[in-house]
A and B are shown apart, each in its own frame.
Chain A
């Protein structure tokens, strides 16, 4: 019985199956860290990232994605077996030290993420002791907490938060790298900036649904954070 399908849940399933792929401690430790802290907390130079990315790339394909179960139940047995098979293949490739098709898919996924990181990055701002990246993109980039590696200053720096404008939806999102611990509530910040219809949680919140915003509005979030400190 699962509430959702991710690497962590699959690790639980595979452990109960007695699967030998669970012996890859480095892979599963990294998967656990991602589950708790987010992928941005992994060491950027750790080769296990490519293996995890190989899974993420495959799992992002709609054909491999678990449906969003909003009512009742979904029998995911066949789907989970496919995920387990893919993970076994990735770990098998790791064991052999090879850099086959799965490794290449993972590397391509990470390269695409870095390209998105570079293309969406606007500025590194400081509010009090907090460092924040502002971003603009046509896709979701609120999870990109590292300054692009090709920036002259602060390359690779892990920021405290991201303020991102999604040009597809017109929404602005504030996200805290640590989930909001010892930070002004993201929801309260966004409500201070855009009114009570803005909403979310402690760690991530957005502008009111349906309303659209522009790049200049990113400044309002910075001001609101300052007022909430």
Chain B
């Protein structure tokens, strides 16, 4: 279950929020991508990153995010990928 859903202005703001709030309780990053900067928080203990890279930049086909996220076993899985 997602407890908090945060919109961040940019990657730096997102990282600061994570550091300030000890944002480590089965959290997930979903579509956290500002321009070409994607949030990569999978190396933070307990923070889950489920990236949603399927914009035109990624070259991924339509529908990928749903497939990608469905493949995750709940929220306890990291799926970082580059843009």
A interface, CB within 8 angstroms of B: 1-6, 8-9, 11-13, 15-18, 22, 28-29, 32-33, 35-37, 66, 69-77, 80, 179
In the bound complex, CA of A133 to CA of B62 (Å): 26
Give the interface size bracket for B toward A.
35 or more
Interface centre among A11, A16, A22 (most CB of B within 10 A): A16
Is there an interface contact between B64 and A12, defined as CB atoms closer than 8 Å? no
Contacting pair B30 A1 (CB below 8 A): yes
Q: Are B6 and A36 in contact (CB under 8 A)?
A: no
A13 touches B75 (CB 8 A): no
Q: Quick check: B32 and A32 within 8 Å, CB to CB?
A: no
Contact of A35 (CB < 8 Å), options: B2, B23, B54, B74: B54
Whether A12 pairs with B31 at a CB distance below 8 angstroms is: yes
Q: How far is the CA of A80 from the CA of B6 in the complex (A)?
A: 9
A4 lies within 8 A of B31 (CB): yes
Report if A12-B7 is in contact (Cβ < 8 Å); known contacts: A22-B70, A73-B13. no
Question: Is A16 within 8 A of B30, CB to CB?
Answer: yes
Interface string of B31-69 (1 = CB under 8 A from A): 111100001010000000010101110000111111001
Question: Nearest residue in B to A6 (C-beta to C-beta)?
Answer: B31
Asked if A1 and B8 sit within 8 Å, CB to CB, the answer is yes
How many whole Å from B50's CB to the nearest CB in chain A? 7
B65 touches A11 (CB 8 A): yes
A169 to chain B, nearest CB (A): 25
Point out the residue from B2, B3, B9, B30 that lies within 8 Å of A9, measured CB to CB. B30
Given contacts A2-B8, A74-B7, 6 further A-B contacts (CB under 8 A): A13-B2, A29-B66, A32-B54, A32-B65, A36-B55, A71-B13
